[in-house]
């Protein structure tokens, strides 16, 4: 059954946000069918990184009706992924994905963020939402990066330093790529996704996208709380929204 849009508070809130920040072109692209199916407007998503987590999340964005351009340093290797995910998926260079996206998703090793920030930072900062999935992990990124990120106040504030002016929301940082597809739209109660960000419009957009993917976003605080959105913290793994709120209260 189609949802009654006029009575849908999520949609009303999103329209206010989108109308205020994203302009007429994007609003014109919204189709009632996609609204009805996902509860969130289709947004073009530029994914920087399309490995284990990038492809798992990309599949969920596409399932929710969002066109996705996957990118990496080797886009030629991503053609098979895009073909498997259907007509909403395409492949491009990082530059093309940044230009394509209404929203940019960063899903690369943390050690890649500095270079990405230097090369594409200005274009990334012009987007109303940058979803930061990236985690500083010693065994992959090196202990110096982990130490540096901690000195900045944790992953959220560190990402903000690497991407000046970007409207960052951290999300999905503690959920495994192996699980994220299986637990979307969990019957009997959605899995919560803790998010952290400072920009209200970016947060609203992120919430709409995450709901459409079949999860319940739970804002746990501003970017300083991003330090808890990592594997191995109490907020990592799979929790109900109520559990996330309870855990987050103990972390302030």
| CA distances in angstroms from 92 to 8, 49, 74, 100, 207, listed in the order given | 35, 11, 9, 9, 26
Of 176 and 240, CB closest to ligand NAP: 176
d(CA 218, CA 211): 10
CA distance 131 to 118: 18
Strands 192-197 and 216-221: parallel
Q: Provide the minimum distance between the beta carbon of 133 and ligand NAP in the complex, in angstroms, as a whole number.
A: 5
- What's the rounded Cα separation, in Å, for the pair 110 and 144? 12
Q: Report the residue number, 39 or 136, with the smaller CB distance to ligand NAP.
A: 136
CB of 230 to ligand NAP, least distance (A): 8
Residue of closest CB approach to ligand NAP: 51
CA distances from 4 to 1, 43, 188 (A): 9, 21, 23
| Nearer to ligand NAP among residue 136 and residue 208 (C-beta) | 136
Question: Residue 151 or 237: which CB sits closer to ligand NAP?
Answer: 237
Please state the φ and ψ torsions of residue 221, each to the nearest 5 degrees.
Answer: 150, -170
- Burial group, residue 229, by CB count within 10 angstroms (0-12, 13-18, 19+): buried
Task: List contacts with ligand NAP (CB under 6 A).
Answer: 48-54, 72-74, 77, 94, 107-110, 112, 115-116, 133-135, 137, 172-173, 176-177
Q: How far is the CB of 14 from ligand NAP (least distance, A)?
A: 25
SS3 167: coil
Which CB sits closer to ligand NAP, 55 or 204? 55
**DSSP secondary-structure letter at 190?**
P
Distance, CA of 122 to chain centre: 19
Nearer to ligand NAP, 106 or 202 (CB): 106
Name the minimum Å distance from CB 29 to ligand NAP.
26
Q: Name the residue nearer to ligand NAP (CB basis): 56 or 247.
A: 56
Name the helix (H) or strand (E) containing 92: strand 89-92
């Amino acid at each position: 059954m189609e949802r009654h849009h006029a009575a849908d508070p999520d949609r009303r809130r999103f329209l206010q946000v989108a109308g205020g920040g994203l302009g007429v072109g994007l609003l014109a692209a919204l189709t009632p069918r996609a609204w009805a199916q996902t509860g969130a407007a289709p947004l073009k998503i530029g994914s920087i990184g399309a490995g284990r987590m990038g492809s798992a999340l990309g599949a969920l964005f596409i399932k929710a009706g969002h066109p996705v351009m996957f990118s990496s340093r080797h886009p030629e290797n991503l053609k098979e992924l895009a073909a498997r995910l259907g007509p909403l998926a395409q492949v491009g260079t990082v530059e093309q994905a940044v230009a394509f996206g209404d929203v940019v998703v960063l899903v690369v090793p943390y050690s890649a963020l500095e270079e990405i920030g230097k090369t594409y930072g200005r274009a990334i900062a012009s987007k109303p939402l940058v979803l930061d999935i990236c985690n500083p992990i010693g065994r992959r990124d090196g202990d110096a990066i982990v130490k540096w990120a901690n000195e900045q106040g944790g992953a959220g504030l560190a990402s903000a330093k690497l991407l000046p002016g970007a409207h960052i929301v951290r999300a999905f940082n503690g959920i495994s790529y192996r699980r994220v597809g299986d637990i979307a739209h969990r019957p009997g109660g959605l899995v919560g996704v803790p998010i952290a960000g400072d920009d209200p419009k970016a947060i609203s957009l992120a919430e709409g996208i995450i709901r459409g993917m079949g999860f319940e976003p739970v804002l746990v605080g501003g970017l300083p709380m991003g330090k808890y959105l990592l594997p191995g913290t109490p907020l990592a793994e799979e929790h109900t929204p109520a559990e996330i709120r309870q855990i987050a209260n103990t972390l302030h």
